[in-house]
């Protein structure tokens, strides 16, 4: 079942554990309140922390990937840093995911062509 | 409360969600392409999108698996990215909580950013709607987007093998994440959470098993929550949380 032509960092078993685990976990998170808790209110402190999960975890994942990019095997790179900074700036200012993505991809390939 | 109003609510949900195809399409495509690059075949990529149905969590898991991260940390991190849907679930409960269990279970599977955002606005506006119309609208918001997301994953996965390595796709995922963060930074507290998490994540990379991600994420969440309280105390009338 797995792609034998590509070198994989994980085996098929691990992949399916992740898929099934995430499927169950995501469903449980979504079903937790609408299905089980009913109309009871959640404690304020919990809601207050839940509000910031995505805006904390995603940047924490991305920051090291920008500072030590995979394409250069982790060597800091002006091209990748600039493309990332532009993407983030456009995303924050326009709040438009697609426009930001186009800017990012465009600047990455443009800069690689000019400087790479 | 008749069949016809429920039907029209479903179609309205579908129409309102149409612009989101422009987001679901490209990102589903990207997930398919990157999944193929990571070594997943078409069936595996499709199963991933079908079973999990949560873009940001799928991208997170894909990235971490390629970094030889222990499976437990992959699961915890990807689910943490998706914790916000628990909040959506809580906030939809007053509107959909009366529906039959099987409908609530289907609604739970379909709770994503776009279905939640569209529905909560519409539910607040339409006081005349009963649970039936609300549920119909909610399913409508996924009527186009969910099939599009799945189809785009398959398409991306089919063309993924043809994409040359020289395109530098291994940096497109970080860019996609950065593009997704922008619209999420709605308040100053969100910004504090974001930059605290970034600052902590760099030294935290020294921790084994990618545990640094969890530590930096928690630091960001605590900073965001504290910042929210702090800003609220300073100017309660400017309270700008969602």
Q: How many domains does chain B have?
A: 2
A115 touches chain B (CB under 8 A): no
Residue A2 has pLDDT above 60, yes or no: no
Contact B108 A67 (CB under 8 A): no
In a domain, B154, yes or no: yes
Which residues form the domain of B224? 185-238
* Exposure on the CB side of residue B159, measured as CA atoms within 13 A: 10
pLDDT (tens, 9 = 90+) of chain B, 242 residues, equals 456 799 999 999 999 998 888 888 888 999 999 999 899 999 999 999 999 998 889 999 999 998 889 999 999 999 988 887 887 888 788 889 888 999 999 999 999 988 988 898 889 889 899 999 999 999 999 999 999 999 999 999 999 888 876 677 778 888 988 988 888 898 999 999 999 999 999 999 998 877 888 899 999 999 999 999 999 998 766 555 44
For residue B207, the 8-state DSSP code is: S
Predicted structure pTM score:
0.80
**Same domain, yes or no: B21 and B137:** yes
Torsion angle defined by CA atoms of residues B74, B76, B77 and B83, in that order, rounded to the nearest 10 degrees: 140
**Same domain, yes or no: B102 and B204:** no
Cα–Cα dist B11/A111, whole Å: 45
**Same domain, yes or no: B139 and B211:** no
**Same domain, yes or no: B45 and B122:** yes
In a domain, B98, yes or no: yes
**Same domain, yes or no: B110 and B54:** yes
* Exposure on the CB side of residue B53, measured as CA atoms within 13 A: 25
Tell me which chain A residue has its CA closest to the CA of residue B43. A1
Residue A1 has pLDDT above 50, yes or no: no
Domain boundary among B144, B160, B176: B160
A residues 58-87 lying closer than 8 A (beta carbon) to B: 58-71, 80, 83-84, 87
**Same domain, yes or no: B58 and B111:** yes
In a domain, B170, yes or no: no
**Same domain, yes or no: B124 and B218:** no
Helix (H, G, I), strand (E, B) or coil at B206: coil
Chain B CB contacts of A33 below 8 Å: 86, 89-90, 92-93
Query: pLDDT by residue (tens digit) across A66-114?
Result: 999 988 888 999 999 999 999 999 999 998 888 998 999 999 999 988 9
Helix (H, G, I), strand (E, B) or coil at A69: coil
B residues 94-113 lying closer than 8 A (beta carbon) to A: 94, 96-97, 101, 104-105, 107-109, 111
| ipTM exceeding 0.90, yes/no | no
CB-nearest partner of A70 from B44, B48, B170: B170
CB-nearest partner of B175 from A30, A53, A104: A104
Least confident of A20-24, A37-41, B13-17: A37-41
Distance from CA of A1 to the nearest CA of B (A): 7
Domain boundary among B160, B194, B224: B160
**Same domain, yes or no: B25 and B137:** yes
Distance from CA of A2 to the nearest CA of B (A): 6
Q: Which residues in B38-58 are b (16+ Cβ under 10 Å) and which e?
A: bbbbbebbbbbbebbbbbbbb
Q: Which pLDDT value is given to residue B188?
A: 95
**Same domain, yes or no: B109 and B199:** no
Domain boundary among B127, B160, B193: B160
The position carrying tokens 């029209």 is B8
Terminal alpha carbon distance of chain A: 37
**Same domain, yes or no: B216 and B126:** no
**Same domain, yes or no: B207 and B110:** no
């Amino acid at each position: 079942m797995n792609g034998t032509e590509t070198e994989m960092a994980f085996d098929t078993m691990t992949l399916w554990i992740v898929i099934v685990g995430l499927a169950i976990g995501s469903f449980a998170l979504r079903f937790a309140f609408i299905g089980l808790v009913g109309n009871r209110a959640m404690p304020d402190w919990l809601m207050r922390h839940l509000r910031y999960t995505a805006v904390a975890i995603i940047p924490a994942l991305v920051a090291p990937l920008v500072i030590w990019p995979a394409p250069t095997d982790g060597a800091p790179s002006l091209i990748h840093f600039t493309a990332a900074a532009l993407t983030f700036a456009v995303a924050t200012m326009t709040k438009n995911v697609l426009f930001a993505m186009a800017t990012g991809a465009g600047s990455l390939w443009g800069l690689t062509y000019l400087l790479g | 409360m008749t069949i016809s109003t429920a039907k029209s609510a479903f179609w309205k949900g579908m129409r309102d969600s149409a612009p989101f195809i422009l987001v679901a399409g490209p990102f589903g495509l990207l997930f398919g392409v990157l999944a193929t690059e990571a070594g997943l075949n078409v069936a595996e990529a499709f199963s991933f999108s079908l079973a999990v149905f949560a873009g940001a969590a799928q991208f997170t898991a894909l990235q971490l698996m390629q970094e030889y991260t222990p499976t437990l940390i992959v699961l915890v991190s990807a689910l943490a990215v998706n914790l916000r849907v628990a909040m959506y679930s809580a906030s939809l409960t007053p509107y959909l909580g009366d529906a039959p269990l099987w409908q609530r279970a289907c609604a739970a599977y379909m709770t994503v950013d776009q279905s939640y955002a569209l529905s909560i606005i519409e539910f607040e506006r339409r006081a005349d709607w009963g649970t039936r119309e609300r549920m119909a609208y909610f399913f409508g918001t996924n009527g186009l987007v969910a099939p599009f997301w799945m189809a785009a994953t398959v398409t991306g996965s089919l063309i993924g093998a043809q994409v040359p390595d020289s395109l530098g796709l291994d940096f497109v995922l970080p860019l996609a994440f950065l593009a997704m963060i922008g619209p999420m930074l709605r308040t100053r507290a969100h910004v504090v959470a974001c930059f605290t998490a970034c600052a902590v994540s760099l030294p935290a990379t020294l921790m084994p098993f990618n545990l640094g991600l969890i530590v930096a994420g928690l630091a960001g969440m605590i900073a965001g929550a504290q910042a929210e309280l702090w800003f609220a105390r300073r100017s309660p009338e400017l309270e700008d949380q969602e």
